[in-house]
Structure 1
Amino acid sequence: MNAFSTVYWKEVRENLRDRRTLVNALITGPLLGPVMFIMLMNIMINQQLEKSDRPLSVPVIGAALAPNLVVALKSAGIDAAPAPSDPETAVREQRADVIVRISPSYVQAWSKGQAVQVELIYDSSRRDASTPVARVRNVIEGYGKREGAMRLIARGLSPTTAWPVQVAERDQATSQSRSALMFSFLPYFFVLTVFLGGMYLAIDLTAGERERQSLEPLFVNPVSRWKILAGKLGAICTFSVVSLLLSVAAFATAPWFIPTDKLGIALDLGLRFGAQVVLLMLPLILLLAALQSLVSAFAKSYREAQTYLSILMIIPVLPSALLSVIPVRAEPWMYAVPLLGQNLGIVQLLRGDGVPAWQMGLCLAGGFVAAILAVWATAWMYRSERLAISG
């Protein structure tokens, strides 16, 4: 058995016996995050769907002034309730999601064929109130358009006279591409899973062994340093791959628990999607393993390495955070940028567009070039005799 496989299997066996590494690498990262997200999304979506379907009770000020409007609201499942004395305070104190206030001059203006005023009092900062507000607004606007059309017809005019320009929408979004809006964070989750999957192992195999003073006996053996490093990187990558596979498998269960059919989206996170994600992530697995080993090599203790890698963890967040705040149109060169290329590629897979061979090639080429540079830097660090000395 050569030096690489000896070091590799030694590190894998030792860390399989370490409960802390197993929990953090194979449970906390790849499973806990997806499970929590799916549960939260399921609860949130069901709550919103329930609000959009169930009858609403909305306080209406001046309901007697507009009986036909009240009937239109009721036909849409919105019942007029008694109004509070101070509607603004009632909304601010969250005693009501939305309150309708009909102008006292409603009857007089309506009889003269003039525009009438109906106010919606609500708090736009309350996300839970957005669905009721939208329902009430749509009903009132629809009622206004119907009555406006009837006024024109009564005067012998076509209703289209009031709308000389009509917008015809041709939405090209598919049911699957719409799902990318909801799951656009997945690239960040996968990168973070890979990072956490190998982080604790990388710390233990470098800073941990340095603290335990077990690196020096290992380096004394007549074995090339790069073979020792290769065995350690192989073990880190193995844990990262397993962590990624568990995360992909966990997210594949999302369509079972999230009512995608009610949302009008199609979510395909099956075997083909998972296989392409793993392929896109391969260079990042090696890159992050090398960077974690390199950063850990500068630390003299396990705790110090944890601090350094916690700062390094910010890097995987950047592409997803930037793309969510500043949407950009993908350019060919972007696919060759590590992390950014994977982010764009996974979003395309979510949309159902697929990743063409040239884009996949750029992602893999750019990522592996960066990974090779990181491995070279780590190998150079492993040549230093100070690495084996603690304190």
Structure 2
Amino acid sequence: MNAVTANAKRASAFLTVFLKEVRENLRDRRTIITALVTGPLVGPMIFALLLGSMLSRELDKAEQPLHVPVIGAERAPNLIDALKAGGIVPQAAIANPEQAVRRQDTDVVVRIGGNYAESWRKGEPVQVEVIFDSSQRDANTSVERVSRLVEGYARQQGAMRLVARGLSPGTAWPISVARRDQATAQARGVLMFNMLPYFFVITIFLGGMYLAIDLTAGERERQSLEPLFANPVPRWKILAGKLAAICTFSCISLLITLAAFAVLGPFVPVDKLGMELNLGAHFAGTVFLLMLPLVMLIAALQTLVAAFAKSYREAQMYVSLLMFVPIVPSLLMAVFPIKAKAWMYAVPLLGQHLGVMGALRGDGVSLQQVLYCLGGTLAAAVVATLITAHLYRSERLAISG
């Protein structure tokens, strides 16, 4: 009976701290805005709007008439007709095409050589210059469109020359390369959303950041931590209640983000690029499961770092530095695109990145990969929590200044 009573008191102490911290921070406007609005809602909206506008602009460039200055258009009327048929609208020649491209007055300029007509009559190769600036990413679609049309016209005319000489067009191309792309429409969508795992991690981070700072450095600065520690309650119960509150806010923030992406995903016009994007319930469930132990790890790390600060502002600076850590796996995968191994799923952050990308590609995540991901990150979370609990036993933690 005494054991049951003791367990009930322990549970009551934990719930008291948990409910107290949640209730107090629900009244904090800054925490609510950051944890439940700015990160989980505004972020996905900006992401979807930027991506949607970028895709729409690129699609417009690929489909609408493209105005291109052409130098020497009178020397190659048939080539000009081919460009017009492809949606290119030839413009008047400009004096300094290189400077015009560098100043972004135009995306691309076509220059036809002065000996074009003579070389064409002799059956010799002719030169057509496509002038552009490769550092201007916004011009890539226009450059590719013009280059494709010029090269297509060249192949067509080359084949006609061979036919005129009684030769098969296949003579010039003894090997035919057949490209068989095995990527599914959903897998190709990963190319546009490879930063999504980092987005989810940052949402978790922001969801609990201000709460973690306030529950440690904030209470220490307000001198409310010392009377809390004076209660006849083990320190680890107080820490458990605070960590549970932080994890609750982080989980709610993550759920709101997943719901926002599920709603906004269909409005991104990836289907026009032959891609497919599925951010529905199955994807959201997989992401939430993989991120659960990471919620615990980040909460423990934020609390640990905030405990070393003497003031709220100082803790805010220290904890903000942790935001650079989650981007490391995304940068590594972008710079060093390596094939995922089973053990990599056990590495915190990296395992979540690989798991989310697998779910996004439509390949799914195997049970072994899920267990590695959960086990490795959970082990790291336990270690971080034990270190934080050890720090909470120090009397210096409750003393401000």
TM value normalised by structure 2: 0.96
Aligned twin of 1:58: 68
Q: 1:59 is paired with a residue of what secondary structure?
A: strand
Q: Of 357, 369, 379, which aligns to 1:347?
A: 357
Shift of 1:166: 1.6
Indicate the SS of the match to 1:268: coil
Q: Any gaps of 5 or more consecutive residues in structure 1?
A: none
Q: How far 1:256 moved relative to its partner? A: 2.8
1:296 aligns with 2:306: yes
Deviates more, 1:249-258 or 1:136-145: 249-258
The match for 1:42 is: 52
Partner of 1:324: 334
Deviation at 1:53, TM superposition (A): 0.7
Q: Decide which of 150, 165, 168 is 1:155's aligned counterpart.
A: 165
Structure 1 counterpart of 2:26, from 16, 40, 48: 16
Matched, 1:278 2:288: yes
Contact 2:266 2:277 in 1 (8 A): no
Could you list the per-position Cα deviations for residues 330-362 of structure 1 after superposition, in whole angstroms to 9, with x for gaps in the alignment? 111100000000000000000000000000000
2:120 maps to a residue whose letter is W
Q: CA deviation at 1:26?
A: 1.0
- Are positions 1:103 and 2:113 aligned together? yes
Give distance in 2, aligned partners of 1:181 and 1:63. Answer: 38
Q: Which residue of 1 aligns with 2:392?
A: 382
1:204 aligns with 2:217: no
Q: Give 5+ residue unaligned stretches, structure 2.
A: 1-10
Determine helix, strand or coil for the equivalent of 1:79: strand
Q: Secondary structure at the match of 2:326?
A: helix
Map 1:264-275 to 2 at 5 A: 264-275=274-285
CA deviation after TM superposition for structure 1 residue 88, in Å:
1.4
Q: CA deviation at 1:156?
A: 1.0
* 2:391 paired with 1:368: no
> SS of the counterpart of 1:58?
strand
Distance 1:254 1:29 in 2: 15
Worse overlay, 326-335 or 343-352? 326-335
Aligned counterpart, 1:139: 149
Alignment-mate amino acid for residue 291 of structure 1: L
Distance 2:327 2:316 in 1: 18
- Structure 1: how far apart are the matches of 2:302 and 2:143? 49
Q: Equivalent residue of 1:110, what SS?
A: helix
What is the alpha-carbon distance in structure 1 between the residues aligned to residue 46 and residue 175 of structure 2? 47
Aligned match of 2:5: none
Instruction: Count how many residue pairs are aligned between Structure 1 and Structure 2.
Output: 391
| In structure 2, C-alpha distance between the alignment counterparts of 1:255 and 1:310, rounded to whole Å | 29
Deviations, residues 250-304 of structure 1 (Å, cap 9, x unaligned) = 1112333211221111100001100110000011000000111111111111011
Structure 1 residue 316, shift from structure 2 partner = 0.9
Distance 1:216 1:86 in 2: 74
Specify the alignment match of 1:189 in structure 2. 199
Give, in whole Å, the separation in 1 of the partners of 2:148 and 2:212.
56
TM-superposition CA deviations, 1:206-258 (whole Å, max 9, x none): 00001111111111111111111110000000000001011111111233321
The answer for the alignment partner of 1:247 in structure 2 is: 257
Q: Which residue of 2 aligns with 1:72?
A: 82
Tell me which amino acid in the other structure corresponds to 2:335: V
The code of the aligned residue for 2:299 comes to A
CA distance in 2, matches of 1:384, 1:236: 21
2:76 maps to amino acid: A
Structure 2 match to 1:164: 174
1:132-173, CA deviations, whole angstroms, 9 ceiling, x for partnerless residues?
Answer: 111110000000000000111111111111111221101000
TM-score by length of 1: 0.99
What is the letter of the counterpart of residue 52 of structure 1? Answer: A
Per mean C-alpha deviation after superposition, the further-off stretch among 50-59 and 363-372 is: 50-59
Identity %: 63
Measure, in 1, the Cα distance between the counterparts of 2:202 and 2:215. 20
Deviations 1:188-220 (A, max 9, x none): 000011011001000000000011111111111
Q: Does 1:115 align with 2:110?
A: no
Q: Matched residues in 2 for 1:288 and 1:59: separation?
A: 55
CA distance in 1, matches of 2:110, 2:260: 45
SS of structure 2 residue aligned to 1:344: helix
